[in-house]
Amino acid sequence: MKIKKIMFLFFAVLPLVVSLIALVFLPEKIPAHYGANFTVDRYGSKFEILILPVATLLISLIFLFPGIFMRDELNKKIILNIGLALILVFNALYYCILYVQCNNLKNLNSDVFNFERILLLIFGVFFIFVGNLMPMSRRNSFVGLRTTWSMTNDTVWKKCQIFGGISMIVTGVICFVTAFVFPNVFLMIGLLLGVAVIDTIYTYFAAKKYSCYEK
């Protein structure tokens, strides 16, 4: 676990270090925003490359704090693993964006570079990873499929995490496959919204069915 914490901190800080080095070589104006068609629609200051690294660092702190107060060692490990996976996702996205800005790409979905495909592959792997961890978590207020209903008791919690884990894995597999067949990030967003609704409905029925168990 100590090694994972070191990796966590390393990858949390790395994008910021790389950004500070990249500032020396980048032009004053870089592609700063892309429209819905993934073509550049605004150029901005090169210092805008610091936004994602700073956000990565702040998000890393969110996943470190629960470990300080949480007593359940299993949940602490799960939170650290999910946090590390998320930080790696942010690292991958950051280097893709840096590549785009260094090469002044005007279209994110060219034959050479397809950003939507990359997004689907990265998040597909992430969803599969998180889905495998969810059923192992114990009832807590930080990670997992958490609703008022799923927190009813430990039995309901377990049933909901298994269901949520499977739905997350299925989502990841669909994202991964569609990355090669039909890379479309809006498909992923719609899929996530649909899964969120289905999972929430399931927690309600699980609570109704297993609420007789002792809390």
Write out pLDDT tens, residues 159-170: 999 999 999 999
Which residues touch 20 (CB under 8 Å, ≥6 apart)?
A: none
Strands (E), 22-94: 29-34, 40-45
Average pLDDT over residues 196-208: 95
Answer yes or no: is pLDDT of 214 > 80. Answer: no
In total, the chain counts a number of residues equal to 215
Answer yes or no: is pLDDT of 111 > 70. Answer: no
d(CA 60, CA 87): 7
* Pairwise pLDDT comparison (124 vs 107), residue with the higher score: 124
CB atoms within 10 A of CB 79: 24
Q: Residue for token digits 């700073």?
A: 54
pLDDT of residue 68: 62
Determine how β-strand 40-45 pairs with β-strand 29-34. Answer: antiparallel
- Which pairs count as long-range contacts for 86-89, CB under 8 Å and 24+ apart, including other chains? 86/59, 86/126, 87/8, 87/11, 87/12, 87/56, 87/59, 87/60, 87/63, 88/11, 89/122, 89/123, 89/126
The proportion of the chain whose per-residue pLDDT surpasses 90, expressed as a percent, equals: 47
Average pLDDT over residues 184-199: 92
pLDDT of residue 7: 87
Q: Within a 13 Å sphere around the CA of 151, how many CA atoms are in the beta-carbon half?
A: 8
Which residues touch 203 (CB under 8 Å, ≥6 apart)?
A: 145, 147, 149, 150, 156, 160
| All structural domains of the chain with their residue ranges | 1-110, 114-215
What region, left, alpha or beta, does residue 105 occupy, with left being phi > 0 and alpha being psi -120 to 50 degrees?
beta
Model pLDDT for residues 145-155, shown as the tens digit of each residue: 999 999 999 99
Average pLDDT over residues 98-122: 83
pLDDT of residue 103: 81
Model pLDDT for residues 16-45, shown as the tens digit of each residue: 999 999 998 888 888 877 877 778 888 888
